[in-house]
A and B are shown apart, each in its own frame.
Chain A
């Protein structure tokens, strides 16, 4: 069964919120899985893994200490890829002046990648990200994947480097649908479920606000 990308984005956003992320980062989690799914990566599976791995970890513990540092690192030695992704996106202009942003000890590094598409669009130059034997280049409308496919789904990257400029040796265009396993979708839904208020008869009547008869 295939899913629409809007379904994936909406459910991912709710799941990330359900796992305790602030709304703004939850929105980016939705964009992240949408982007990864559109390029055929298991974005939903990775997000579920991350939410399970980081459930209840304080955000600042898994965020870079400073965006000015030569190398970005998190206080507890494990960085959230969602926060890495958002911070790289926020630092598009700095990437242009620095040429390189280096991050240390990022969990599930593929989840930190989608910002390169948006950053490339904003800057008008292709952006490359590399870790271990993985290498991805994006120019805003397509990507180019090189290196070891297994490294793409690494659980952890000791070092991740974002840099410009780069060249797309071939072009992989995004797709408009995605196939997911029922298992990962139901895990994602379980996180999303935490954001729904349990219904009461009172809320059913008052919350939506029509108790009048519709047989008229």
Chain B
């Protein structure tokens, strides 16, 4: 049988498929927990100075082989009317920074004036991230209440929400004055993407479990009783939520090379596993085990959003089809994973296909995990233009990568219905109606398909042998797009091959794609541009982490109830 090649970017880079992606071995959370366990990182709660009303600060330090990092958490007493996940919020239940090293008392004092106000504060190069979180009001109250009464919280209630707090923004890489990624990118622990943010959230989860216990004890003390200690299994089932809005969506468009490297790593992994000639018995057994555990996880995935409810219903049917396929197929056949994946392309929805594509990687850590090394990008987002490139070869890339865009009729209003812009408040990306709101003059360059088609048109009368430097001198308005096309020409998975400004585009597809690479589960859209997810559900708490549980925690063990 011929070698299976990588999947065609024209298939992979469509929004509907990107918006159906699932976490995998290459997810950033799993890359982090594997490293922390492998390198035997040590974790300590260095301070917990929080009063009975839940106000104060705590410090959690992770000690690695060469360096230490500390999560500094500030806990607040937030009135309900101020609780908002929106980026325009001005107060939160808790606020955090990941500090480079171990903070001094002066650092704690300095940051106490800046972290609680988030965007209104300033931080320095010793701070690697700035973040905040809000409580899930109903679950928080339930857990505090029953623990204070000496009982354990209900698994069902926890499973229905999945987390006690959800982060509403995690800022890194230079934002608000924090350290640029370039300052830390050469540290092995931060080579893979978003490891600062993933470490921050991992330590945040520990803080949240400690805080809920602390508040239960405080409440019990008021009535002179003794609170129960939260059961370790229940604690493990609690993840950290994340509520993500539009602000994250343009990231994939603004970092085409980085995005290419993420997708390429996963596609390389899928290709490598599809090319496995014969599966060993233990690999087949592991696949079956993970499959069953993964089905449990999916069964606990809930959403009230019509788009996701439909996708979940279809995924449920896909699971039944996969079970049927596996009952009549012997995986000890030649190239079993290619056969399974190829069958899924014919038989399953996009959600089901991407689920299988991630799932077949699970037994193959030795084959797959090495691709994580190539997921970072040291190239600047603003790439150098190769000015000596001839118009002819630029045209060829346009016709290859942007064929769909060249063939789109951009005079049809629905194809141009939206425009991305930056709002005056908080300077965050928003999406508006081009023909109904006064926003077009503020449009951000986040419609690469439309812009490529305009450039293609502008090139019509330019001879093939002219160099792009000369074209750009006369047409500087195409400089952004031409730069982008040169990146797309050398990075096959850099570009979303879909219309990002049409009336039917769903921003949650971009959010889902990015969050799946983080390793998120239980995507729960709140609208077409807002999604809640769960991170680190079922993961060992830092003090429980070992090589034995560092990798497959995302899948609930078959005897355990899931969060």
Contacts and interface: CB of A to CB of B under 8 A. Distances in A.
- A contact residues, range: 35 or more
Interface of A: 1-7, 14, 22-25, 27-28, 30-31, 59-60, 63-64, 66-68, 83, 86-87, 89-94, 118, 122, 176-177, 193, 195-200, 202-204, 206-212, 214-216
Given A197-B424, A214-B83, 14 more contacts: A4-B174, A6-B180, A14-B422, A23-B480, A24-B482, A64-B473, A176-B182, A197-B423, A199-B424, A208-B423, A210-B245, A210-B527, A210-B529, A215-B83
Interface centre among A23, A59, A177, A198 (most CB of B within 10 A): A23
Contact of A177 (B125, B422, B433): B125
Nearest to A63: B473
A31 B424 contact: no
Contacts of A193: 424
B555 to A, nearest CB: 27
Contacts of A176: 125, 179-180, 182-183
B476 A207 contact: no
Leading 4 A-B pairs by shortest Cβ distance: A24-B479, A90-B387, A6-B174, A207-B430
Contact of A203 (B137, B432, B445): B432
Contacts of B476: 22, 24-25, 59, 63, 83
B440 to A, nearest CB: 10
A11 to B, nearest CB: 10
Nearest to B172: A6
B279 interface: no
A202 B436 CA distance: 11
Interface of B: 80, 83-88, 122, 124-125, 134, 136-138, 173-175, 177-183, 243, 245-247, 380, 382, 384-385, 387-388, 421-425, 427-428, 430-433, 437-439, 442, 445, 468-470, 472-474, 476-483, 507, 526-530
Contacts of A60: 474
A196 B442 contact: yes
A118 B384 contact: yes
Nearest to B246: A208
Contacts of B385: 86, 89-90
Contacts of B477: 22, 24
B478 A87 contact: no
Contacts of B180: 4-6, 176
B246 A196 contact: no
Contact of B430 (A6, A89, A93, A208): A208
B120 to A, nearest CB: 14
A172 to B, nearest CB: 17
A203 B421 CA distance: 11
Nearest to A194: B442
A93 B437 CA distance: 45
Contacts of B442: 195-197
Contacts of A27: 382, 479-480, 483
21 contacts: A2-B177, A5-B180, A6-B180, A23-B445, A23-B479, A27-B382, A27-B479, A86-B472, A89-B387, A94-B388, A94-B469, A176-B183, A195-B422, A197-B422, A197-B424, A197-B438, A207-B421, A208-B87, A208-B88, A209-B507, A214-B243
Given A24-B483, A197-B439, A203-B432, A209 B177 contact: no
Interface centre among A22, A83, A210, A211 (most CB of B within 10 A): A210
A212 B479 contact: no
A92 B482 CA distance: 17
Nearest to B438: A197
A215 B526 CA distance: 14
Contacts of A92: 387-388
Contact of B432 (A2, A86, A207, A216): A207
Nearest to B478: A24
Contacts of A67: 469-470, 473
A8 to B, nearest CB: 9
A216 B138 contact: yes
Nearest to B182: A176
Contact of A24 (B384, B428, B480, B507): B480
A152 B468 CA distance: 31
A87 B382 contact: no
B473 A208 contact: no
A121 B173 CA distance: 24
Contacts of A206: 432-433
A53 to B, nearest CB: 18
Contact of B530 (A122, A195, A196, A209): A209
Given A31-B380, A197-B423, A206-B432, A212 B472 contact: no
Contacts of A212: 526-527
